[in-house]
Amino acid sequence: MEIIDNILLLLFAGHDTTASAITLLIKYLGELPEVYAKVLREKIDITESKEPGELLQWKDNRR
């Protein structure tokens, strides 16, 4: 139920939604280490697939 409440907060708050979303993301990644490990592994894989100095593109995050 808490997750639903937080989602509704993001939808209807009208201000600071980006900050709230980032805060909740960090909170839940801290509470769910297995999810954090998957996210970290994905980002490491993306970084390792790039050439040195090559910038990340939006499509890199859509894997």
Q: Given a cut of 80, is residue 17 above it in pLDDT?
A: no
Give the angle subtended at the CA of 61 by the CAs of 55 and 63, to the nearest 5°: 125
In this prediction the pTM is 0.61
Task: Measure the CA–CA gap between 26 and 33, rounded to whole angstroms.
Answer: 11
**CB distance 29 to 36 below 8 Å:** yes
Q: What is the pLDDT of residue 14?
A: 63
The pLDDT tens digits for 47-56 are: 999 999 999 8
Q: What 3-state class would DSSP assign to 56? A: coil
| Higher local confidence (pLDDT), 43 or 12 | 43
Residue 63: which pLDDT band, with cuts at 50, 70 and 90? low
Mean pLDDT along residues 29-35: 95
Task: Measure the CA–CA gap between 24 and 49, rounded to whole angstroms.
Answer: 29
User: What are the φ/ψ torsions at residue 13 (nearest 5 degrees)?
Assistant: -65, -40
